[in-house]
Amino acid sequence: MPEKPRFIRHVGMRLQLQPGGRCTCTLAVQDFHLNGNGVVHGGVLFTLADTAMGAALHQTLEEGQLCATIETKIAYFKPVFEGEVVCHGQILHQGKSVASTEASLFVDDVLVAKATGSFAIFKRKTAAPS
């Protein structure tokens, strides 16, 4: 990813790409990440997981290829109230058109959620000549 997408900046996460189809996303919990009960919204954790898995895959793609989430499943184990969430994403298997990924989310080295995802791999279609 040449520059950090606006959505990633908006949420406040940081990405660190690692070799071998891995990515770590971190997020310092802020007040706007909390739901009405004072717990980090599940969508925030889902966003971290989906982004880490997609970024892990994206860096392995050939020139002109893109990826997009087909399906993601997440299990939440513990509530998050504060601190820094660290999410490790990695590729489990990469075929020509689909990749399987996983992500583990931690706060203070405690596993708080785990996700798996499938991503489509495809070429960007160019606009038809006018």
Question: Could you read off the pLDDT of 110-129 as tens digits, one per residue?
Answer: 999 999 999 999 998 776 56
List, for the chain, all residue ranges whose pLDDT scores fall below the cut of 50: 1
What does the pLDDT read at residue 127?
A: 60
72: helix, coil or strand? strand
Q: Which of 13, 7, 23 is nearest to 99 (CA)?
A: 23
Reported as type and span, the H/E element at residue 56 is helix 42-58
The CATH class that applies to domain 6-123 reads alpha beta
What does the pLDDT read at residue 5?
A: 79
What does the pLDDT read at residue 128?
A: 57
Give just the sign of the alpha carbon dihedral 58, 63, 68, 69.
Answer: negative
Token couple for 114: 């785990």
d(Cα 96, Cα 75) in Å, to the nearest integer? 28
Q: Where are the domains of the chain?
A: 6-123
